[in-house]
């Protein structure tokens, strides 16, 4: 005889036990390692890839004029400040002459003394030559001895030599004076080109050694960006390519530019390729020299080919490929990958056709045995 259990008690019991068991079963199968892995799926599409190179660099000036004296000395005056625009040939400042003028005067005196010495030598030579001629005549009239004639001849020759020495002495004194004068001219610090004073490294009164920079002038029109590209991703970098330059101070604002040249020498230590990118045109106000710039160089567009997001690229053992969704199951498809762009798309050279469904994102690492659950978007990942 089968007896019915008491109704309300059974209902209450069922109301508690059944949800508990259902919850337990859900928990046992839907969580932990037994649960299917949530994945998102994308369809392989054919698209053109516009690869770009991304590098960072600093704004530099192509020509930097470092102006300083050619000898050690003290700065007497300096008329320009940092930021001043200067013309070509403009006097920027002057070194202290110290005793240079006195030395020039002394040299001029020495020059005049040499001129006087030359006059004296000329007079002596004339006299010696006259005497020699007179004694020639006296000797031919037998009025003097040959010995005396020889002495007169020798004197005339000595006077000739003394004259040419005096001439050389004059030339030397003149050259000495000219040298000092041009040195005095070099005391003047003159702008070689039109530009902007970028640095003023010393102030009047400072003693500096020969070759030390006093004022630095740059030409704002010659600003360029010295960009470093990682060697791994520098393929295709060439002169003439268009570039976008984002300056750190103007975040987000992209300036137009182009690659001027790619340096033939790459950096060995940092493993970077170097290139110069010029602004086209130079923005106003001019960017700061030394400012950090992010440069994106656009490479020629690759023709359309099956492309996948780089998030789909996985590694299984030694092979690189994607997890393909075939008949509800997972299959790892090894790929050969081609060009990629900065938006994260990679072209597939070999291994996938258009329309294939591949796993983009997954909750955890996948294996061929993973059970998957296709979702719109992975839970916990903010949109």
Partner 1 sequence: MGGKGIRIEGLKKRYGSGDTAVDALKGVDMQVAPGEVVGLIGPSGSGKSTLLKCLGAVIDPTAGRMTLGDEVIYDDGWKVRDLRALRRDKIGFVFQAPYLIPFLDVTDNVALLPMLAGVANAEARSSALELLTALDVQHRARAMPSRLSGGEQQRVAIARGLVNRPPVILADEPTAPLDSERAMTVIRILDDMARKYETAIIVVTHDEKIIPTFRRVYHIRDGVTHEEAGEGRPFDGTG
Partner 2 sequence: MISLAGRDIVHAWGKFVFTGIGLGLLIGVTLVMAGVYRGMVDDGRALLDNSGAELWVVQRGTLGPYAESSSLYDDTYRAIRAMPGVAKAANVTYLTMQVRDSRSDVRAMVVGIAPGGPGATPGWPPYLVAGRHITRSHYEAVADVASGLRLGDRLAIRRNSYTVVGLTRRMVSSSGDPMVFIPLKDAQEAQFLKDNDALWQSRRRTGANPAFDRPGVPGLLDAVNAAQSTNAFVNAVLVTLEPGRDPDEVAAAIRRWRRLTVYTRPQMESILVGKLIATSAKQIGMFLVILAIVSAAIVAFIIYTLTMDKIREIAVLKLIGTRDRTIAGMILQQALALGVIGFVVGKITATFSAPMFPKYVLLVPFDSVVGFFAVLVICVVASIAAIRMALRVDPAEAIGG
Residue 374, φ and ψ in degrees, nearest 5 = -80, 125
Phi, psi (deg, nearest 5) at residue 62: -65, -45
Of residues 124 through 183, those in contact with partner 2 by CB under 8 A are none
- Minimum Å gap between C-beta 310 and partner 2 is 5
Q: Is 249 in the site for partner 2 (CB under 8 A)?
A: no
Q: Is 363 in the site for partner 2 (CB under 8 A)?
A: yes
The interface with partner 1 within residues 111-140 (CB under 8 A) comprises: none
Are 44 and 348 within 8 A, CB to CB? yes
Taking the least distance from each CB to partner 2, the nearer of 179 and 211 is 211
Which residue of 311, 333, 351, 370 would you call a contact of partner 2, by CB under 8 A?
311
- Stretches 1-9, 137-145, 243-251, 313-321: which one binds partner 1 (CB under 8 A)? 1-9
Question: Residues 135, 224, 229, 332: which binds partner 2 (CB under 8 A)?
Answer: 229
Q: Which is nearer to partner 1, 4 or 365 (CB)?
A: 4
383 binds partner 1 (CB under 8 A): no
Residue 1 is a binding residue for partner 1 (CB under 8 A): yes
Percent helix, strand, coil in the chain (nearest 5)?
Answer: 30, 35, 30
Structure letter (DSSP) for residue 285: S
d(CA 25, CA 27): 5
Task: Give the chain's end-to-end CA distance (angstroms, integer).
Answer: 62
Q: Which is nearer to partner 2, 33 or 328 (CB)?
A: 33
Which of 3, 265, 369, 379 is in the footprint of partner 1 by CB under 8 A?
A: 3
Contact residues for 277 (Cβ-Cβ < 8 A; gap 6+): 57, 224, 225, 227, 243, 245, 257, 258, 259, 260, 295, 297
- 269 in contact with partner 1 (CB under 8 A): no
Strands 357-362 and 37-43: antiparallel
DSSP codes, 181-196? HHHHHHTEEE-SSSEE
| β-bridge partners, 254 | 246
CB of 2 to partner 1, least distance (A): 9
Cα 28 from Cα 298, distance rounded (Å): 52
Q: What is the rounded CA–CA span in Å between residue 225 and residue 290?
A: 9
Name the strand (E) or helix (H) holding 25: helix 7-30
β partners of residue 37: 372
Binding footprint of partner 2, residue count (CB under 8 A):
59
**Binding at 3: pick from partner 2, partner 1, none (beta carbon under 5-8 Å per type):** partner 1
Measured from the CB atom, is 6 or 210 closer to partner 1? 6
**6 scored as a contact of partner 1 (CB under 8 A):** yes
Residue 1: name its binding partner from partner 1, partner 2, none (Cβ under 5 to 8 Å by kind): partner 1
Residue 57 near which of partner 1, partner 2, none (CB within 5-8 Å, type-dependent) = none
Q: 31 Cβ partners below 8 Å, 6+ apart?
A: none
| 232 near partner 1, rule: CB under 8 A | no
Check residue 362 for interaction with partner 2 (CB under 8 A): yes
Beta strands 372-374 and 37-43: pairing type?
Answer: parallel
Please name the residue ranges forming H helices in 66-195. 100-140, 146-186
Please choose which of partner 2, partner 1, none residue 232 contacts, taking the beta carbon within 5 to 8 angstroms, the exact cut-off set by kind. Answer: partner 2
Antiparallel, parallel or unpaired: β 314-316 and 319-326: antiparallel
Q: How far apart are CA 223 and CA 219, in angstroms?
A: 7
Contact between 268 and partner 1 by CB under 8 A: the answer reads no
- Using the contact rule CB under 8 A, the part of the chain among 2-10, 107-115, 206-214, 256-264 near partner 1 is 2-10
Sketch the per residue contact string, 56 through 75, with partner 2: x for CB under 8 A, - otherwise. Answer: x-------------------
Catalog residues that contact partner 2 under the rule CB under 8 A: 5, 9, 12-13, 16-17, 20-21, 23-24, 27-28, 31-34, 54-56, 209, 211-213, 229-230, 232-233, 269-270, 294, 309-311, 313-315, 317-318, 320-321, 337, 340-344, 360-366, 377-378, 380-383
- Residues forming contacts to partner 1 in the complex (CB under 8 A) are 1, 3-4, 6
């Amino acid at each position: 005889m089968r007896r019915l259990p008491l109704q309300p008690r059974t209902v209450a019991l069922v109301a508690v036990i059944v949800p508990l068991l259902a919850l337990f079963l859900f928990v046992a199968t839907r969580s932990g390692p037994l649960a299917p892995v949530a994945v998102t799926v994308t369809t392989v599409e054919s698209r053109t890839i516009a690869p770009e190179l991304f590098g960072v660099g600093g704004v530099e000036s192509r020509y930097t004029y470092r102006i300083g004296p050619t000898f050690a000395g003290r700065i007497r005056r300096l008329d320009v400040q940092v930021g001043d625009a200067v013309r070509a040939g403009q006097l920027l400042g002057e070194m202290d002459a110290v005793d240079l003028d006195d030395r020039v005067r002394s040299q001029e005196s020495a020059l005049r003394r040499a001129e006087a010495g030359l006059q004296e030598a000329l007079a002596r030579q004339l006299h010696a030559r006259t005497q020699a001629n007179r004694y020639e005549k006296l000797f031919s009239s037998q009025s003097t001895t040959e010995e005396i004639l020889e002495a007169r001849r020798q004197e005339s020759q000595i006077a000739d030599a003394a004259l040419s020495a005096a001439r050389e002495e004059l030339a030397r004194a003149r050259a000495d004076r000219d040298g000092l004068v041009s040195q005095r001219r070099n005391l003047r610090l003159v702008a070689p080109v039109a530009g902007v004073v970028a640095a003023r490294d010393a102030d009047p009164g400072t003693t500096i050694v020969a070759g030390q920079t006093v004022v630095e002038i740059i030409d704002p029109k010659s600003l360029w960006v010295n960009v470093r590209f990682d060697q791994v991703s520098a393929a295709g970098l060439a002169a003439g390519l268009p570039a976008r330059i984002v300056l750190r101070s103007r975040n987000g604002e992209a300036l137009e530019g182009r690659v001027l040249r790619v340096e033939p020498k790459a950096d060995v230590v940092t493993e970077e390729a170097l290139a110069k990118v010029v602004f086209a045109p130079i923005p106003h106000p001019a960017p700061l020299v030394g400012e950090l710039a992010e440069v994106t160089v656009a490479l020629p567009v690759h023709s359309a080919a099956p492309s996948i997001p780089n998030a789909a690229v996985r590694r299984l053992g030694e092979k690189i490929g994607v997890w393909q969704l075939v008949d509800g199951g997972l299959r790892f498809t090894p790929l050969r990958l081609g060009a990629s762009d900065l938006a994260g798309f990679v072209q597939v050279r070999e291994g996938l056709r258009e329309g294939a469904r591949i796993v983009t994102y997954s909750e955890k690492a996948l294996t061929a045995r993973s059970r998957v659950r296709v979702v719109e978007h992975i839970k916990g990942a903010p949109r």
